[in-house]
Amino acid sequence: AQSVTQPDIHITVSEGASLELRCNYSYGATPYLFWYVQSPGQGLQLLLKYFSGDTLVQGIKGFEAEFKRSQSSFNLRKPSVHWSDAAEYFCAVGARGNEKLTFGTGTRLTIIP
Amino acid sequence: DAGITQSPRHKVTETGTPVTLRCHQTENHRYMYWYRQDPGHGLRLIHYSYGVKDTDKGEVSDGYSVSRSKTEDFLLTLESATSSQTSVYFCAISESMTGNTEAFFGQGTRLTVV
């Protein structure tokens, strides 16, 4: 069965600092990997996704993620965070032909001035 | 914004009563999903549909049923609500959740069972 681990429940960073959110997955086949963001009281919005090819994926809002098969990781990064990035971030895994995504438990990001 | 609407947005109900949540889309997407979101658990799939009258169970389907009689509507029913079903419920739509298309989520329904 597929699974996703987000080891950090809550992260606090200063505005302008760099950010890395961790995601580790478990899946027998080649995974499809996703990062979603959820602002308070809102639904989820797709930030970026990896299917194949270049292991460094660019997304919206200046985010990027790197797929590392050897480490079963898909960490999300941003070089300089903005106050508007405060939200909850979810990593998810799926696979071709498997139309059911499995989500991690989420990381809540707080930005301090 | 994608055309996906959940109703109601908030509901308080009593234990043992039936509850139906509605998800309506205007995108004509094939797949529709119901997730529940709980602290410490992230999003967990309850049921999903891959076409009219075609549905399948997710990982937390006990106590829930679904119906999809039209492409645009996907109903989630709690036959007899329990306090453990207090949660935020999200509907999602997609042409293919794992294809080269984006999934869109509704704004959620906060359900409280007292």
> If you ran DSSP here, which 8-state letter would residue B103 be given?
-
Q: What pLDDT is recorded for position A2? A: 82
- Look at B98 and A97 and tell me if their CB atoms are within 8 Å: yes
Query: Is residue B1 less than 8 Å (CB to CB) from chain A?
Result: no
Tell me the two tokens of residue A42: 């809102």
| Percentages of chain B per state (helix, strand, coil), in multiples of 5 | 5, 55, 40
pLDDT in tens, chain A (113 residues): 789 999 999 999 999 999 999 999 998 777 889 999 999 888 899 999 998 888 999 999 999 999 999 999 999 999 999 999 999 999 998 877 777 788 999 999 999 99
Strands A24-26 and A3-5, by their bridges, are antiparallel
- Look at A43 and B106 and tell me if their CB atoms are within 8 Å: yes
Q: What are phi and psi of A3, to 5 degrees?
A: -150, 160
Tell me the two tokens of residue A16: 């302008």
Q: Are A102 and A92 in contact (CB under 8 A)?
A: yes
- Look at A90 and B102 and tell me if their CB atoms are within 8 Å: no
Query: Is residue B2 less than 8 Å (CB to CB) from chain A?
Result: no
Nearest CA in chain B to A102: B44
A49: Cα separation from own chain's centroid: 9
- Look at B97 and A101 and tell me if their CB atoms are within 8 Å: yes
Give B52-88 pLDDT, tens digit per residue: 999 999 999 999 999 999 999 999 999 999 999 999 9
Tell me the two tokens of residue A91: 């990593």
Q: What is the percentage of chain B residues whose pLDDT exceeds 90?
A: 84
Tell me the two tokens of residue A63: 């985010």
Q: What pLDDT is recorded for position B97? A: 63
Cα–Cα distance measured from residue B68 to residue A103, given in angstroms and rounded to the nearest whole number: 24
The partner residues of B84 in beta bridges, in order of sequence, read none
